[in-house]
């Protein structure tokens, strides 16, 4: 019984076709990759510019820390903790610390209990 | 064509080709199944792969296998790849005549004699070209959907999804047709073992189905 096998190697025509197809695939893939990496770079640049803008806005503000805000200090000294700046005072806790979701009904009840104090 | 029966076997697909075909087939099956699960939101499919998140991971990394396997094969077997590309991109009068008769595979087209074919018949050549284009489209749209989804424009991403989906649907139909002709159709199912098992096919069948190629093989004997 004979066993028939293909001739190993390739002709010039076959080589050129194989190389040509690889080249086309490489070029198309390269163009796709370039578009993607450019999009990545543009995105990174946008994020950097946005972050820089936020930092610049922050730096330009006159009052940059809430606990140094004269109005806040005045509210604490005259109302939330009379005579002093006690930031976690009982009244501040009840009035300024809020609750969410299923805790809201109990929070409303709590506020009602303290409405005379406020 | 000679009336004498030719005794012997033809090594149609060598080990590396068969291995690559197996790997690509398994990867394609996993990708197809997980992909169908994503598109139609079929929980049963996602759960086979450990839930939607794991199914997505399996799809992506199988996509890497689907991409790397043919690249490795081409780099390690450039001569075979070149011969394959040359064959599937060369269309002769016999190929067009084969297409007119559909190679005798279609029941209602009466065929007296099928024109002699090369290693791959005209239908297989067209399938080969479509599979290469389809794989490229799926790979080139798949990776941006994974890696660049946060940086490309939504319209670009939507285009990638559409191309990816429709190419996959066409590819699944092509592969189903390929499977039917290579494994079920009585005229050509002998091809199945040559690609999926030992690589050999009967010489007489090759002489009938791939007469031009067999004549070349006889010259090299």
B18 alpha carbon, distance to own chain's centre: 12
Mean pLDDT to the nearest integer, B88-111: 86
How high is the pLDDT of residue B1?
46
Of residues A1, A6, A25, nearest to B217 (C-beta) = A6
The position carrying tokens 């503000």 is: A61
Does residue A3 form part of some domain? no
Check if the beta carbon of residue B139 is closer than 8 Å to that of residue B63: yes
Does residue B3 form part of some domain? no
Does residue B160 form part of some domain? yes
Does residue B47 form part of some domain? no
CA-based nearest residue in chain B for residue A28 = B140
- The mean of the pLDDT values for chain B is 90
Min Cα–Cα distance to chain B from A42, Å: 8
Instruction: Using CA atoms of B108, B122, B188, B167 in order, give the dihedral in degrees to the nearest 10.
Output: -90
A33-80 residue pLDDT tens: 998 899 889 999 999 999 999 999 999 999 988 889 999 999 999 999
Does residue B36 form part of some domain? no
Does residue A118 form part of some domain? no
Tally of domains within chain A: 2
Maximum Cα–Cα distance for chain B, whole Å?
Answer: 66
Does residue B73 form part of some domain? no
Tally of domains within chain B: 1
- Residue A48 sits in which domain range? 8-61
Does residue B54 form part of some domain? no
- H or E element, residue B53: helix B52-76
Does residue A1 form part of some domain? no
The number of residues making up chain B comes to: 221
Q: Which residues contact B11 (CB under 8 A, 6 or more apart)?
A: A3, A4, A5, A6, B199, B200
Does residue A27 form part of some domain? yes
Check if the beta carbon of residue B27 is closer than 8 Å to that of residue B62: yes
Phi then psi for A108, rounded to 5 degrees?
-60, -45
Beta carbon pairs, A and B, within 8 Å: 87
Kindly list the residues from chain A whose CB atom is less than 8 angstroms away from the CB atom of residue B218: 4
Cβ distance of A4 and B136 shorter than 8 Å = no
The complex scores an ipTM of 0.81
CATH for B173: 1.20.950.20
Min Cα–Cα distance to chain A from B50, Å: 31
pTM exceeds cut of 0.80: no
- Residue B178 sits in which domain range? 9-13+78-220
- The answer to whether B85 faces chain A, any CB pair under 8 Å, is yes
Q: Is residue A79 located within the same domain as residue A94?
A: yes
Of residues B10, B86, B200, nearest to A17 (C-beta) = B86
């Amino acid at each position: 019984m004979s066993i028939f096998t293909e001739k190993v190697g390739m002709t010039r025509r076959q080589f050129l076709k194989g190389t040509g197809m690889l080249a086309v695939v490489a070029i198309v893939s390269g163009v796709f990759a370039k578009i993607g990496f450019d999009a990545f770079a543009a995105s990174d640049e946008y994020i950097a510019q946005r972050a820089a803008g936020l930092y610049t806005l922050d730096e330009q503000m006159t009052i940059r820390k809430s606990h140094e805000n004269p109005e806040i200090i005045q509210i604490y000294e005259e109302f939330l903790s009379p005579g002093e700046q006690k930031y976690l005072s009982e009244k501040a806790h009840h009035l300024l610390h809020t609750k969410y979701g299923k805790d809201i009904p109990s929070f409303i009840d709590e506020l009602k209990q303290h409405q005379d104090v406020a | 064509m000679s009336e004498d029966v030719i005794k012997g076997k033809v090594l149609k697909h060598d080990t590396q080709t068969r291995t690559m075909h197996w790997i690509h087939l398994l990867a394609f099956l996993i990708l197809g199944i997980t992909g169908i699960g994503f598109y139609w939101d079929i929980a049963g499919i996602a759960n086979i792969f450990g839930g939607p998140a794991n199914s997505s991971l399996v799809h992506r990394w199988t996509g890497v296998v689907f991409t790397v396997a043919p690249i490795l094969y081409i780099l390690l077997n450039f001569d075979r790849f070149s011969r394959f590309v040359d064959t599937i991109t060369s269309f002769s009068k016999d190929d067009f005549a084969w297409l007119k008769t559909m190679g005798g595979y279609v029941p209602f087209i009466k065929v007296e004699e099928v024109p002699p074919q090369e290693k791959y018949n005209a239908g297989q050549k067209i399938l080969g070209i479509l599979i290469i284009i389809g794989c490229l489209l799926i790979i080139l749209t798949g990776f941006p959907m994974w890696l660049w989804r946060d940086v490309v424009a939504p319209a670009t991403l939507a285009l990638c999804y559409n191309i990816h989906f429709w190419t996959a649907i066409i590819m699944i139909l092509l592969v189903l047709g390929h499977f039917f002709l290579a494994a079920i159709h009585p005229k050509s199912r002998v091809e199945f073992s040559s690609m999926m098992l030992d690589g050999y096919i009967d010489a007489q069948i090759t002489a009938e189905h791939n007469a031009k190629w067999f004549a070349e093989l006889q010259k090299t004997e």
